[in-house]
Structure 1
Amino acid sequence: MTAGKGKLLIAEPFLGDPNFERSVVLLCEHNNQGSFGLVLNQRTNLNLDDVIDNVYSDLPLHIGGPVEQNTLHFIHRLGHEIDGAVDIGNGIYWSGDFDSIKTLINIGKITEKDIRLFVGYSGWSAGQLANEINRNSWIISETDASFIFDTPTDQFWRAVLKRMGGEYKILSNYPIDPRLN
């Protein structure tokens, strides 16, 4: 399977990069200029109302990646209800008009099952991600909105591998440090 917009990058268990250890990244953009993604399973101890004024919600924030952690990004399954939303496939949308998002959050029309918010992002320059994939640093998988928004963050890496079955299901049980096994 090849990398592409809407695909998941699953960090193989021996990646060795602390920024991406046991991470699952959703690719939001992937082209000749490079790739942009968001780590789906690294939650912070902050909520949206901790970083944005006039938002009355305890929606959790996630670490989207090590790049520009002073920026806010989001994916959702609200479709084109949000102006400017980018369809990345399988019922998953990236970005859009944040004022609309704030309004819908404040009136209780958006819950944690509809949106995931991130500080920072994961980025690769042209050819960089392809090189990492060729070195077997990432496992590529399909996904859909239900899996992303209904799977608990702390179980995400294991759950996606189990869902893939076969050899990947075995990897899902691999200990973080096999020396301690």
Structure 2
Amino acid sequence: MKLNINIFKIETNHVEPKKGRILVAEPFLPGSYFNRSVILLVAHSDKGAVGFILNKKVDYPITEIIPDFPDFEADIYIGGPVSTDSIYFIHSLGDEISGSIHIKENLYWGGDFEELKNKIRLGMVKPGDVRFFMGYSGWDGGQLEEELEENSWLVSEIEEQNVMDVESRKKMWLNIVREIGGKYLMWEHFPENPSMN
């Protein structure tokens, strides 16, 4: 019997990578950072790309990492393997945080961190308004495109509410694969670690 290995082939010609879209890892992409990850691209050009992993939560609060941070119920996520000693954030506060970079819809990247902390102290920011990341995911010019050719990532769209909503993060990879559907529905049936079977 001939096996159909096309279920692993990602059709990259449908959706191009760009700012505001997500990268969905193929089921067997190795490494603890990118295994079954969903990455929001916050920048993409011929010079390279930057993104944050949306679904890899860290087990301690932001106040343990930044001692002078105001009391605030916010999880931290691993953004990627680059600059893991730095905190980054995306938010839906727009121009309320100076220096923010618009991603899409009401999603923004970064801005004045002290300003954000001050607004949190004053009760002007809700936990659902901002997400924090340790490190980021980065690609040099052409590197992401090479990985797409190697079928490492599936590019897709994501709604702003699914980026910011706490509940949607818990099974994000699985839910997005189901939403994309088609032959990618097969992905959910493959074990995370095939060697354990």
**Aligned counterparts, 1:145-160, within 5 A:** 145-150=160-165, 151-160=167-176
| Structure 1 runs of 4+ with >4 Å offset | 178-181
| Residues 88-107 of structure 1 mapped to structure 2, 5 A cutoff | 88-107=103-122
Higher deviation after alignment, 108-117 or 67-76: 108-117
Cα distance, 1:125 vs structure 2: 1.0
**Residue of structure 2 aligned with 1:13, choices 14, 23, 27:** 27
1:168 equivalent to 2:192? Answer no
**1:9-43 superposed Cα distances (whole Å, 9 cap, x missing partner):** 01000112332000011111111111111111111
Bigger Cα displacement from structure 2, 167-176 vs 46-55: 167-176
Q: In structure 1, what is the equivalent of residue 142 of structure 2?
A: 127
For residues 66 and 115 of structure 1, the distance between their equivalents in structure 2, rounded to whole angstroms, comes to: 21
Q: Do 1:9 and 1:141's aligned partners in 2 also have CA atoms closer than 8 Å?
A: yes
The counterpart of 2:79, out of the listed 64, 69, 85, is: 64
The TM-score normalised by the length of structure 1 is 0.91
SS of 1:139's equivalent in the other structure is strand
Mean Cα deviation higher: 162-171 or 115-124:
162-171
Assess if the C-alpha contact under 8 Å between 1:4 and 1:29 holds in 2: yes
**Alignment length (residue pairs):** 181
Q: What is the 5 A alignment of 1:20-99? A: 20-52=34-66, 53-99=68-114
Q: Any stretches of 5+ residues in structure 2 without a counterpart?
A: 1-14
TM-score (norm 2): 0.85
Answer yes or no: is the 8 Å Cα contact 1:159–1:172 preserved in 2: no
Q: Would you tell me which structure has more strand in proportion to its own residues?
A: 1
Identical columns (%): 38
**Aligned alpha-carbon RMSD (Å):** 1.7
What is the aligned partner in structure 1 of residue 127 from structure 2? 112
Q: Structure 1, unaligned stretches of length 5 or more?
A: none
Letter in 1 for 2:190: Y
Name the SS for the 1:2 alignment partner.
coil
Larger radius of gyration: 2
After superposition, the Cα gap between the structure-2 partners of 1:78 and 1:15, relative to the gap in structure 1 and judged at 3 Å, is: same
Query: Does the 8 Å contact 1:55/1:106 carry over to 2?
Result: yes
Deviation (angstroms), 1:99: 1.7
Q: Distance in 1 between matches of 2:176 and 2:168?
A: 11
